Structure 1
Amino acid sequence: MAHNPMPPHTGGKLKPSSAFKERFRTTGTGKIKYQRAGHVHKRFNKSNRQRRELGQPKIMHSTYAKILKKLGFVSRFY
């Protein structure tokens, strides 16, 4: 019988990351809203339409939203 050097996990809660709380918000229907990257950096290389669309918040795909909700990384206040 092999000896396991790691002690068993005794439990505890996973604390939500402050960075995630600032980057993601939940809507009233439970969807996750986030701000798209690339709106500020190198603006002169982007078209007006691209800058306008990057400035609008976007709803996260449901597959990724499910993972984020399971981890508890979403702020419930916005």
Structure 2
Amino acid sequence: MKKKSKKMVAAIVITILVISYFLFYMWIGFSISSGIPFIMKVGLLVIPIGLIVLMVSLLFERINEIKEEDKDDLSKY
């Protein structure tokens, strides 16, 4: 496996793990949300969704950096 591919796989795996953590957090929050105010329920939904969107956008940026890494290394010499 190429070094470039290993970096991509690592970024994707870490993103999947973090997203699954956020989804678990949302699930736990909603499973015990019977007595909490509405604003906290909204927070339990909006904050993790925002973080998931952020993680996906950062993943795309990282993949683009990995793809362009060879071009940048050649320009240094």
TM-score range, shorter chain: 0.3 to 0.5
Structure number with the higher helix fraction is 2
- Per the normalisation by structure 1, the TM-score is 0.33
- Per the normalisation by structure 2, the TM-score is 0.33
Structure number with the higher strand fraction is 1
- Return the index of the structure with the highest Cα Rg: 1
